[in-house]
Chains A and B, each alone.
Chain A
Amino acid sequence: MLITGIKSRPVYDELTPMASGLNHIAAAQGSGGKPLVRLLTAMTPEQLASTTVLYSTESFTGHNFLSELQQFAVRELRVFPGNADAVGGLDTVLAAAEMGTRLYLAGSEGFIGTSMQVATSYGMHRDEVLREHAGSFVRRVWCAHCGHYSENVAHRVFVCPGCELNLIVRDHYSGRLAAFQGVKADSEVPGELPANEELDT
């Protein structure tokens, strides 16, 4: 079973204003605030006035870009204490969104992935969304054996909080689950664990 070198990981974009948009929604988390500042700087005053910003101050690396984001004359800035809250906020905003809406996402893979689940549920097309990865490459991992989702996984091998099996994180990503796949690391010979390592950091 291949663990590394699997080509299913999302390829990310760079956030730039989408000229075709009539209405813009920009959501970011932690370090994702930095590309968001860059995006807003590149926007015209008209684009800023039709932009709603959602920002979660939860961060794995401790970076906070809230004060920079507050400098822009956007239509609305909504601040959330946690990533899950921000994703919920995105759901609310998208529920009221109209045709011509463009979405910008920035932050951890888990944040981008779970936000994409929401965008997809509203039928947003891939070319109406830009995604920029920022900050740490910690991962959201789905346990193939018990279905538990682990957030912010930083190591190749870890113990699943759901079933307590030793999991190895494969470089295999499911957009629908917004997660990487974790499988029992010592499945052939219990106790025979592969070398651990930090993930992409």
Chain B
Amino acid sequence: MTASPASTAFKTDETYTPEGNYNFKNSPEGVRRLPFPFPDDDYMYSMNLEPHVPAGDGALKAAFDVDEHYVSECAHRAQMLRDMPGVHYLALPHMMEAQWDLLELIFESYARDFPEHFTLTKDGNEWRWQNRLLNIDDSFTFGDPSTLPMDPMKYATRQAQGEFVVLEEKDNTLVIGAGMTTQRADYSLKFNVGMSFFEFHGPVPKLHDMGILDRALKFLLRMKPGHPVRRVNWSLTVNPRLETSVETLHEWAPDRTTVTSENAGEKVYLRIELQPLHRLPRSNAIVFPVRTYLVSLSELVQYAPNWAKRIHRALASLDPELVDYKGFHRYHAAAVEWLSHHDDGAPLATGYPWASGGIQPTGE
């Protein structure tokens, strides 16, 4: 059993930085397997949590998805950690048990879902980890940090796509205890570590008044090991830039002024966040992964025309408060204008693409 199509060709030389000239693109299959986050023509927040069970043949087939960008994304993570030490990875001292929990979850999931790329061999606590995509073959003692070259969470997440935030349960809330966040959207890990669920959601408008946060927290606190849940979220990013942290805001925010209704198709990327949350068995922490996918508006038009029409409608009708919060008020109109030339107004299916009857990338 493997969750990746036999044809997946891993790209090894992609970049997500201006220095690397943003050498990044998706294959047609890579686009059509995305967890497209717009089930309706109108978009508003919702808790949209569902059981994280395998669905369809795309990004939701595996517990933690691996796609054609895996090798390049891991290289980008290594580069970000090297360039800005102490900014993208942090773990409070008491999080060690959760770190091992997370290592186990990622490695077991990868080995189960992609056996052609990953193998985990256990002899009691003596573990051997083989990652053929990155040419890694290491043996270590589970639970003994001295047998790894770095923190277990750092070791595991350097070999994983997406970011990982670990939340500890304390005083009936969830508090950020650790994170590997080289691709975070507009926040600071260093600033947010130690914050509670309501505090780190502070900058998100409307949520508090809508009662969504209360319900979400109650739901998450009831989570049990072995029963993960997922949700999707999205934003827009100019250029295929993964690292858009608050710390480097002044480096990437000027890009927002470069978008016009002529170049929006190439410049503007839909940033899809797949968030499969798991309760960790020993530490009782919850891991909040944010698996980020970038796809340009023109790639959507080319390879997934139905999704291009859908995002046109969702963006055109988007609440101005969300436009501001998501940081694209400066180029929102240009993106909508560019997309309007690729929307014939035909009715579209309702529901996520992985749901029965949901919106498919192509076809009627």
Contacts and interface: CB of A to CB of B under 8 A. Distances in A.
A and B co-occur in one complex: yes
A188 B200 CA distance: 24
Interface stretch (B247-255, B299-307, B355-363): B247-255
Interface of A, secondary structure class, is loop
19 contacts: A2-B203, A2-B324, A6-B202, A6-B203, A7-B208, A144-B249, A145-B249, A170-B203, A172-B203, A174-B192, A176-B194, A176-B195, A177-B190, A181-B188, A181-B191, A183-B249, A184-B249, A187-B254, A189-B257
Interface of A: 1-2, 5-8, 126, 142, 144-145, 165, 170, 172-177, 181, 183-184, 187-190
A8 B247 contact: no
A97 B262 CA distance: 67
Interface in B180-228: 186, 188, 190-195, 198-200, 202-205, 208
Contacts of B188: 144, 181
A97 B128 CA distance: 47
A7 B247 CA distance: 21
Interface residues of B, number: 29
A145 B253 CA distance: 13
A145 B202 contact: no
Contacts of B364: none
Contacts of B30: none
B256 interface: yes
Interface of B: 171, 186, 188, 190-195, 198-200, 202-205, 208, 246-247, 249-250, 253-254, 256-257, 324-325, 327, 330
B246 A188 contact: no
Contacts of B192: 174
A188 B191 contact: no
Contacts of B194: 174-176
A189 B254 CA distance: 6
Contacts of A181: 188, 191, 246
A2 B247 contact: no
Contacts of B256: 188
B205 A183 contact: no
A177 B191 contact: yes
A190 B256 CA distance: 12
Given A181-B246, A184-B249, A184-B250, A5 B205 contact: yes
B254 A1 contact: no
A7 B198 CA distance: 8
A6 B330 CA distance: 22
